[in-house]
Structure 1
Amino acid sequence: MKTVAFVPVKLNNQRTPGKNTKKFDDGVALITVFLKTLVKVSNLDELYVFCSDETIKDYLLPGVKFLKRPEYLDTQAATPQDIMAEFIKLVDADIYMVAHCTSPFVTKEHFEECIDAVKSGKHDSSFTGEKIQKLMWKDNEPLNFNAEKVPRTQDLPAIYAEVSAAYVFKKEVFLNYNRRIGITPHITEVSGVESIDIDYPEDFEIANAVYMKVLNSTNK
């Protein structure tokens, strides 16, 4: 089954302008750090960066293909479904993985787990997710526990927050449901630094601190 990954990138982000090419303190850009992991994923046939601006080519690695996308996909009106539909129209595959570089610390093994879950035939889709077991409140009321008998957090029912590093799906899932998660998804659980997702400038500062700490520890 042909499996293709693509990293959608726009350079005019509203919340954190230029975040995809923003450089960590060692001078390496976020997108490049992310691609260093993706190029090692063994169960991918092709890997693309899908961007309207050809200057992104300066940040790519050997083995990564550039595919120019229409500029309308950079607008606020464009949806994730619009981006996926355009890519699927241009590149044929049996299985697709949409990978977002704003979650730069997910491991090669977890990307491979996501893909293998769909390739196995047991799941029509998969995604990376963070397991959450916390005492939650909504509208000044406990949401997932009895305030008169507070449970241990490890005894709470687990819920999962999507981590945008990877969404893997069969082509027919998108064609049939117009979405990236199907009816029988597998959740690849990530935690700790892997669950870091960069939306705002302060998120990048946290990611930079983590990245530099890991880099310094591996260089010792």
Structure 2
Amino acid sequence: MKIVACVPFWLEYDKNNSVYMKKLAGKFLINYTLETLQKVKLIDEIIIFCSNDEILNYITTDKKVSFFKRSTSLDDYNVSIEDIIDSFIDNKKDADVIILIHPNCPFIKKETIEECVTNILNNNNDSAYTAVKFQKFGWMDGKRLNYSKDKPTPNKNNILPIILEQGSVYIFKKNDFIKNKNRIGTNPFIKFINLFEGHEVVDKEDYEIAELIINSGMNME
């Protein structure tokens, strides 16, 4: 099976946001993702999927990555990720398994990606994604999620955890996506990661935290 990593990038949005285009410990954020992917021997090809080839000026990795130029119509902030994936599949028809990975999580480990891919290749699961688990009392739309107002407040260790998609890594089979139009299948492998590995750089505060993580050496553990 051909395993292809898709790294979508919105250059104009990121220029305005300014965080993604800043260097983090000497290199641009996207390079952390590319370098991690290059360590995963299961991956056959790594593709940056962006409407502007100027992004190549920010790539400093010495190993080969491919670039596919997508339509600028997909740069709209309201375009769904399913539309992005559809377009990518149209451009890369020979992919069997797609690793969709967003370039704003510099601490994702290669072992995390390898475990997700292996579960799919072994037919244990039809898809995989990274998630974080919180043993906390949760609310949504003004309602309690995992405890009741009509019963005594339980010990936190006895409540169901709140599971959130971490949002960086999704892995799925191309044919399953074409059929279901969803990056998560009916039997997904959920790879739980800690908050350090799952740290997303979206704004200035996230960037500063990422610098602290690197300077402390915690990203090497």
TM-score, normalised with respect to structure 1: 0.89
CA shift at 1:15, angstroms? Answer: 10
Q: Please say if residues 15 and 21 of structure 2, whose CA atoms lie closer than 8 Å, have aligned partners that are also in contact.
A: no
2:147 to 145, 164, 178: 145
Q: Counterpart of 1:181 in 2: which secondary structure?
A: coil
Q: 1:6 to 1:14 in 2, by over 3 A?
A: closer
Pairwise CA distance, 1:107: 0.7
CA contact (8 A) 1:16 1:200 kept: no
Residue 185 (structure 2) aligns with: 182
Amino acid at match of 2:117: I
State whether residues 73 and 82 of structure 1, in contact with CA within 8 Å, keep that contact through their aligned partners in structure 2: yes
- Separation in structure 2 between the aligned mates of residue 155 and residue 170 of structure 1, nearest angstrom: 36
Residue of structure 2 in register with 1:2 after alignment: 2
Q: Which range moves more in the overlay, 151-160 or 68-77? A: 151-160
- Hey, what does 2:13 align to over in structure 1? 13
1:153 CA displacement = 2.0
| Cα distance between partner residues in 2 of 1:16 and 1:150 | 45
User: Offset of 1:141 from its aligned partner?
Assistant: 5.2
Task: Tell me what 2:97 maps to.
Answer: 95
Q: Tell me how far apart the structure 2 counterparts of residues 6 and 157 of structure 1 sit (CA, whole Å).
A: 34
Cα 1:27–1:14 change in 2 (3 A) is closer
Q: State the alpha-carbon separation in 1 of the partners of residues 16 and 136 from structure 2.
A: 29
Contact 1:37 1:107 in 2 (8 A): yes
- What residue in structure 2 maps to residue 214 of structure 1? 217
Q: Is the 8 A contact 1:12 1:18 kept in 2?
A: no
1:44 and 2:38 are equivalent in the alignment: no
CA contact (8 A) 1:97 1:166 kept: yes
CA drift at 1:95: 0.6
Q: CA-atom RMSD, angstroms?
A: 2.1
TM-score under structure 2 length normalisation = 0.89
2: CA distance, partners of 1:139 / 1:81: 26
- Change in Cα spacing, 1:191 to 1:16, as seen in structure 2 (3 Å) is farther
- Give how far 1:139 is off: 5.7
CA apart distance, 1:68: 1.3
The match for 2:82 is 81
1:6 Cα deviation (Å)? 0.9
SS at structure 2 position matched to 1:72 = helix
User: Identity of counterpart residues, as a percentage?
Assistant: 34
Amino acid at match of 1:75: D
1:37 deviates by: 1.1
**Cα deviation digits, residues 50-80 of structure 1 (max 9, x gap):** 1111121123321321211111111123211
C-alpha displacement at 1:89, in angstroms?
Answer: 0.6
Consecutive unaligned residues of structure 2, counting only runs of 5 or more, are none
Where in structure 1 are there 5+ consecutive unaligned residues?
Answer: none
Tell whether the 8 Å contact from 2:9 to 2:48 is kept in structure 1 after alignment.
yes
1:11/1:17 contact within 8 Å kept:
no
Letter of the 2:101 counterpart: A
Matched letter for residue 154 of structure 2: P
- C-alpha offsets along residues 86-107 of structure 1, whole Å, 9 cap, x if unaligned? 1101112111010011122111
Q: In 2, are the aligned partners of 1:103 and 1:163 still within 8 Å (CA)?
A: no
Paired residues of 2:136 and 2:162 also in contact (CA < 8 A): no
Residues 30 and 137 of structure 1, relative CA distance in 2, 3 Å threshold: same
